[in-house]
């Protein structure tokens, strides 16, 4: 409830709040700065004065100094925050509907988007990637590309968007 309590305090007139980076503080239950700042900025339209695009950089600095790794599933700054593998997610992202699964663009917080093709990948996602990247795609070879993706999935669990791009280019 730390983020909710912090937002309620600001909404109630608080001008200063106690926040910590990556949730690290002197005890449990501290309010994560990156989560509170994004809630205040995006939901409450409060100008916090924080450079949002530096949140990821700050998180990495604290991670390096504290030697406490940020969990991949950590909100805002976790490595999986903007990672998509499920075919429905990939299809939405590649068709220009990133707002379906991302409340804001990754660059806003200094993150980047990662797209993986996995066991649920459909031929539509391959076609969408080609369109998204302005690649010439011989649609008669889409199933061949899907087979290459499946081989990558067997080896390492996924194929990256750049690998799939190479599959398309090498047809």
The 10 Å Cβ neighbour count of residue 75 is: 14
In 26-113, at which residue ranges do the beta strands (DSSP E only) sit? 83-84
Note whether 7 and 45 are same-domain residues.
Answer: yes
CA dihedral sign of residues 57, 59, 62, 68: negative
Contact 104, 42 (CB under 8 A): yes
Which of 20, 35, 66 corresponds to the end of one domain? 66
The answer to the question of residue 73 being in a domain is no
Do the Cβ atoms of 91 and 115 come closer than 8 Å? no
Residue 127: closest CA among 115, 113, 119, 138: 138
User: Would you state the pLDDT for residue 14?
Assistant: 97
Non-local CB neighbours of 11 within 8 Å, separated by 6+ positions = 44
Does one domain contain both 39 and 100? Answer: no
Tell which residue, 41, 64, 57, 119, has the closest CA to residue 87: 119
Q: Is the pTM of this model over 0.85?
A: no
138: which residues sit within 8 A by CB, 6+ positions away?
171
* 44 in the same domain as 92: no
- Taking the C-alpha atoms of residue 58 and residue 63, their distance in angstroms, rounded to an integer, is 8
Residue 48 and residue 113 in one domain: no
Do 87 and 60 share a structural domain?
no
pLDDT at 27: 82
Per-residue pLDDT tens, the chain, 171 aa: give them: 999 999 999 999 999 999 999 999 888 889 999 999 999 999 999 999 999 999 999 999 999 999 999 999 999 999 999 999 999 999 899 988 999 999 999 999 999 999 999 999 999 999 999 999 999 998 899 999 999 999 999 999 999 999 999 999 986
Residue at 17 is within a domain: yes
Distance CA 109, CA 52 (A): 5
- Within this chain, do residues 164 and 89 fall inside the same structural domain, yes or no? yes
Task: Tell me what pLDDT residue 15 has.
Answer: 94
Query: What letters, b where the CB count within 10 A reaches 16 and e where it falls short, cover 96-119?
Result: eebeeebebebebbbbeebbbbbe
Task: Determine the structural domain holding residue 131 and report its residue range.
Answer: 83-169
SS (H, E, C) 146-159: HHHHHHHHHHHCCE
In a domain, 72, yes or no: no
**Is residue 75, in this structure, part of any structural domain at all?**
no
Which of 66, 96, 115 is the C-terminal boundary of a domain?
Answer: 66
């Amino acid at each position: 409830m730390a983020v909710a309590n912090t937002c309620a305090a600001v909404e109630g007139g608080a001008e200063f709040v106690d926040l910590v980076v990556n949730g690290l503080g002197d005890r449990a239950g501290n309010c994560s700065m990156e989560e509170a700042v994004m809630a205040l900025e995006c939901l409450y339209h409060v100008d916090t004065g924080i450079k949002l695009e530096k949140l990821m950089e700050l998180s990495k600095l604290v991670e390096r100094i504290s030697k406490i790794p940020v969990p991949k599933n950590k909100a805002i700054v976790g490595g999986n925050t903007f990672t998509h593998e499920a075919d429905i997610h990939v299809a939405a992202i590649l068709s220009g509907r990133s707002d379906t699964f991302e409340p804001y663009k990754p660059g806003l917080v200094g993150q980047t988007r990662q797209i993986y093709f996995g066991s649920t990948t459909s031929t539509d996602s391959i076609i969408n990637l080609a369109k998204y990247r302005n690649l010439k795609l011989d649609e008669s070879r889409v199933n061949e590309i899907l087979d290459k993706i499946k081989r990558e999935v067997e080896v390492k669990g996924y194929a990256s968007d750049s690998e799939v791009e190479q599959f398309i280019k090498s047809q």
